[in-house]
Amino acid sequence: MERRRWAGDTSTLSTPRILPDAHAEGASGGDTGRMTVFVATSVGEALDALTASKPPEILAGGTDLMVEVNFGRRRPDAIVSIGRIASLRRWRCSGEGDASADGEPPEQRELDVDGVRSAGVVEVGAGVTYRQMTEEALAGLVPALAQAARTVGSPQIRNAGTLGGNLATASPAGDTLPVLLALDAEVVVARADGSRLLPVRELVLGPKRSALAPGELIVAARLPARFGHQEFVKVGTRNAMVIATASVALVVSWEPLDVRVALGSVGPTPLRVPAAEDYACARLDAASGELRGGRADLERFAELVRAAARPIDDHRSSARYRRHAVGVCAERALQRAMRSRQVTLGAGGDRVRVGAQMLPEGESPSEGARWATS
Ligand SMILES: Cc1cc2nc3c(=O)[nH]c(=O)nc-3n(C[C@H](O)[C@H](O)[C@H](O)COP(=O)(O)OP(=O)(O)OC[C@H]3O[C@@H](n4cnc5c(N)ncnc54)[C@H](O)[C@@H]3O)c2cc1C
Q: Taking 80 as the threshold, does the pLDDT of residue 32 lie above it?
A: no
The CA distance from 246 to 320, in Å, is 11
- Say if residue 233 is in the same domain as residue 366: yes
Domain tally, the chain: 3
240 C-beta closer than 6 A to ligand 1:
no
- Say if residue 164 is in the same domain as residue 275: no
- Say if residue 261 is in the same domain as residue 363: yes
Domain that holds residue 99: 86-224
| Residue 168: CB atoms within 10 Å | 24
- Say if residue 74 is in the same domain as residue 138: no
Residue 333 covered by a domain? yes
Give 96-141 pLDDT, tens digit per residue: 433 343 444 333 333 333 444 556 999 999 999 999 999 999 999 9
Give 230-284 pLDDT, tens digit per residue: 999 999 988 888 899 999 999 999 999 999 999 999 999 999 999 999 999 999 9
Residue 216 covered by a domain? yes
- Say if residue 74 is in the same domain as residue 118: no
Which residue, 202, 224, 246, sits at the end of a domain?
Answer: 224
User: Probe ligand 1: pick from 131, 157, 195, max atoms within 8 Å of CB?
Assistant: 157
pLDDT at residue 365, as a whole number: 37
Which residue, 204, 224, 244, sits at the end of a domain?
Answer: 224
- Say if residue 130 is in the same domain as residue 211: yes
**55 in Cβ contact with 14 (< 8 Å):** no
pLDDT at residue 370, as a whole number: 37
Distance between Cα 50 and ligand 1 center (Å) = 19
Q: What is the phi/psi pair of residue 226, to 5°?
A: 40, 55
E strands within the chain? 36-39, 57-59, 78-81, 91-94, 121-125, 186-191, 194-199, 204-206, 209-210, 217-224, 229-236, 246-254, 257-264, 271-272, 284-285, 290-291, 370-371
Residue 6 covered by a domain? no
- Say if residue 157 is in the same domain as residue 218: yes
pLDDT at residue 119, as a whole number: 65
Kindly report the CATH number assigned to the domain that includes residue 340.
3.30.390.50
Residue 233 covered by a domain? yes
Closest by Cα among 61, 84, 50 to 169: 61
Average pLDDT over residues 297-317: 96
Helix-strand-coil split of the chain, %, nearest 5: 35, 20, 45
- Say if residue 266 is in the same domain as residue 308: yes
- Say if residue 202 is in the same domain as residue 336: no
289 C-beta closer than 6 A to ligand 1:
no
Q: How confident is the model at residue 159 (pLDDT cuts 50, 70, 90)?
A: very high
164 C-beta closer than 6 A to ligand 1:
yes
pLDDT at residue 366, as a whole number: 34
- Say if residue 114 is in the same domain as residue 217: yes
- Say if residue 65 is in the same domain as residue 114: no
Q: How confident is the model at residue 360 (pLDDT cuts 50, 70, 90)?
A: very low
Q: How confident is the model at residue 367 (pLDDT cuts 50, 70, 90)?
A: very low
Distance between Cα 226 and ligand 1 center (Å) = 25
Residue 291 covered by a domain? yes
Give 41-91 pLDDT, tens digit per residue: 999 999 999 999 999 999 999 999 999 999 999 999 999 999 999 999 999
Which residue, 224, 245, 280, sits at the end of a domain?
Answer: 224
- Average pLDDT of the chain, as a whole number: 84
Residue 118 covered by a domain? yes
Partnered with residue 209 across adjacent β-strands are 206
Q: Taking 50 as the threshold, does the pLDDT of residue 5 lie above it?
A: no
- Say if residue 246 is in the same domain as residue 298: yes
Q: What is the DSSP string of 9-73?
A: --TT-SS-----HHHHTT---TTTT--EEEE-SSHHHHHHHTTSSSPPEEESS-TTHHHHHHTTS
pLDDT at residue 238, as a whole number: 87
